[in-house]
């Protein structure tokens, strides 16, 4: 494989924007350059990263898997460059961070690790709570920034948000379930199944709205705030679950296999982002944290 950092940068930009046109505008390059770069990258990898349709592009499952690796590669390069830039002017001080339940274990850990490597002299304090309360703390100046689900951000007049990751919903199934081998899985198929419902952040609200739109009342077999409980229940055949891809792992704690499948139709996505108060005088530590988060999101690497 002979793909380049530039190809990874273009791929990540298109994946995040969902459009070659918007990606080209953000990167200030021609659409043809991105199109050619994507074709070469797919040829090198031997897989399709996007499905092409008249309305634009949709990232494939292979594309989502490769996106994780691409962002890590670009972030590592950014970390390497930052390590030379910090030198004697290393940032110090304190940083107060808020985080919602869903992203605490899946996004924040890697972000904090990168920030601590970049700014080892900053003292970090983090709290976990629901999105509404974190918004209250941000507006009141008690938090510098928050890493949270922003799809349902309430106070957009007072808060500034930037997307770090967009994660589509997928269906979790136990091994041997009839839908595992189905060519196409529809939302109507899910409505007939016992549902294991995760009740953190906006998950329960989104799943309920999705099924209600079809005139189907979800058959909820179990409600829980624990992702691990969902894994165990699905793996042992207690039901199925619709959850964002970012929390999917193929095994339960007991070692049972969990399958994940795409669902046809327009499913919602979960947007994870970094949030701060509009117009606030951000400390250097907060600005550096936002910068590290942005480098993880888009893999902006100067070539």
Q: Residues of the chain with pLDDT > 70: what percent?
A: 91
Tell me, what's the pLDDT at 302?
A: 36
Q: Which domains does the chain have, with CATH numbers?
A: 5-85 (1.10.10.10), 93-162+272-301 (3.40.190.10), 166-270 (3.40.190.10)
Tell me, what's the pLDDT at 143?
A: 95
Tell me, what's the pLDDT at 75?
A: 74
Q: Is the model more confident about 135 or about 15?
A: 135
- When pLDDT is cut at 50, 70 and 90, the band that residue 90 belongs to is low
Whether pLDDT at 53 is above 80: no
What's the burial of 146, exposed, middle or buried (CB within 10 Å: 0-12/13-18/19+)? Answer: buried
- When pLDDT is cut at 50, 70 and 90, the band that residue 82 belongs to is low
Q: What is the mean pLDDT of residues 88-117?
A: 84
Angle between helices 109-118 and 61-86 (to 10 degrees): 20
- When pLDDT is cut at 50, 70 and 90, the band that residue 155 belongs to is confident
Q: What is the mean pLDDT of residues 80-109?
A: 77
Whether pLDDT at 300 is above 50: no
* Spatial contact of 292 and 118, defined as CB atoms under 8 Å apart: yes
**pTM for the model:** 0.67
Q: What residues are paired with 197 via a beta bridge?
A: 223
| Residues whose CB falls within 8 Å of the CB of residue 16, separated by 6 or more in sequence, listed in order | 23, 163, 166, 297, 298
Q: Closest Cα to residue 124, out of 109, 135, 139, 134?
A: 109
- For residues 54 and 82, what is the distance between their CA atoms, to the nearest angstrom? 40
Strands 241-244, 159-174: pairing kind = antiparallel
Q: What is the pLDDT of residues 204-243, one digit of tens each?
A: 877 777 777 656 677 889 999 999 999 999 999 999 999 9
Average pLDDT across the chain, whole number: 84
Q: What is the mean pLDDT of residues 69-90?
A: 68
- For residues 40 and 59, what is the distance between their CA atoms, to the nearest angstrom? 16
Tell me, what's the pLDDT at 240?
A: 95
Tell me, what's the pLDDT at 227?
A: 92
- For residues 242 and 174, what is the distance between their CA atoms, to the nearest angstrom? 13
The three-state (H, E, C) secondary structure of 256-269, written as one string: CEEEEECCCCCCCE
Tell me, what's the pLDDT at 269?
A: 80
Q: What is the mean pLDDT of residues 276-281?
A: 90
Tell me, what's the pLDDT at 303?
A: 37
Strands 195-198, 121-128: pairing kind = unpaired
Tell me, what's the pLDDT at 65?
A: 84
Q: What is the mean pLDDT of residues 96-120?
A: 87
Whether pLDDT at 20 is above 80: yes
Tell me, what's the pLDDT at 126?
A: 93
């Amino acid at each position: 494989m002979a793909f380049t950092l530039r190809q990874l940068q273009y791929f990540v930009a298109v994946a995040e924007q969902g459009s070659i046109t918007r990606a080209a505008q953000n990167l200030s390059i021609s659409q043809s350059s991105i199109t050619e770069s994507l074709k070469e990258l797919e040829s090198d990898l031997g897989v399709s990263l996007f499905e092409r349709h008249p309305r634009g592009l949709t990232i494939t499952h292979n594309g989502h898997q490769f996106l994780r690796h691409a962002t890590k590669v670009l972030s590592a390069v950014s970390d390497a460059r930052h390590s030379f830039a910090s030198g004697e002017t290393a940032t110090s001080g304190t940083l107060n961070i808020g985080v919602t339940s869903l992203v605490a274990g899946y996004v924040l850990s890697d972000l904090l690790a990168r920030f601590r490597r970049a700014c080892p002299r900053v003292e970090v304090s983090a709290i976990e709570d629901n999105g509404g309360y974190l918004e209250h703390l941000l507006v009141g100046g008690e938090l510098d920034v928050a890493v949270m689900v922003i799809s349902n951000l309430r106070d957009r007049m007072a808060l500034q948000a930037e997307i770090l990751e967009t994660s589509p919903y997928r269906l979790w199934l136990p091994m041997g379930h009839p839908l595992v081998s189905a060519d196409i899985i529809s939302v109507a198929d899910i409505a007939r199944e016992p549902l294991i419902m995760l009740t953190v952040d906006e998950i329960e609200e989104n799943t309920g709205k999705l099924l209600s739109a079809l005139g189907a009342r979800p058959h909820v077999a179990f409600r829980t705030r624990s992702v691990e409980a969902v894994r165990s229940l699905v793996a042992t055949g207690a039901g199925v679950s619709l959850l964002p891809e970012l929390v999917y792992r193929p095994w339960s704690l007991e070692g049972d296999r969990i399958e994940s499948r795409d669902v046809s139709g327009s499913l919602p996505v979960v947007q994870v982002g970094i949030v701060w108060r509009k117009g606030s005088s951000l400390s250097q530590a907060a600005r550096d944290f936002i910068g590290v988060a942005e480098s993880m999101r888009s893999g902006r690497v100067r070539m």
